Amino acid sequence: MSEKKLYCKATNCAHNYDECCRAGYINVRGNSAVKTSETTCSTYFADSLGFFTSAIEVGGYTTPKNIICEACNCIYNNDTHCTADSVLINSHFSSCETFKCK
């Protein structure tokens, strides 16, 4: 079985290391979302200068089970916990590309 990961294309996020999230836990917002663009990773933290990269490299990878999901209409949301096998955060808007409306 492959390891479940949260993949992040938001390469200017301080928690992004080699396109994987190292925040530990994240929060996906979008309480009334019915499409991907209405979701967002509220843990996203812009780090355009790269100041935090060395601190984050030593952390563990964030997994879908470590997502607090407020996107109530997503098929992967089970009582605010993500049940997806893998999750992808988009590069431009830090939206959850794994979101699928019920």
35 HSE (CA, 13 A, CB side): 1
Is 84 among the domain residues? Answer: yes
Residue 42 is part of which domain span?
6-89
Question: Looking at residue 67, what is its pLDDT?
Answer: 93
Judge whether 51 lies within some domain: yes
* Cα three-residue angle 65-66-69, rounded to 5 degrees: 85
Regarding pTM above 0.95, the answer is no
Residue 39 lies in a domain: yes
Q: Is residue 17 part of a domain?
A: yes
Spell 80-98 as b/e; 16+ CB within 10 A means b: eebebeebbbbbeebbbeb
- Residue 92 phi, psi dihedral angles, 5° rounding: -90, -40
Answer whether residue 97 is part of any domain: no
Residue-wise pLDDT tens digits, 53-89? 544 555 678 889 899 999 999 999 999 999 999 999 9
pLDDT of res. 69: 96
In a domain, 67, yes or no: yes
What value does the mean pLDDT take over residues 35-42?
Answer: 96
Q: Please, which pLDDT band fits residue 48 given cuts at 50, 70 and 90?
A: low
Instruction: Give the Cα separation of 83 and 51 in Å (integer).
Output: 32
Residue matched to tokens 């030593």: 58
pLDDT digits (tens, 9 = 90+) for 9-36: 988 888 888 888 888 889 999 999 999 9
Domains contained in the chain, number = 1
For residue 28, being part of any structural domain is answered with yes
Phi, psi of 65 (to 5 degrees): -70, -15
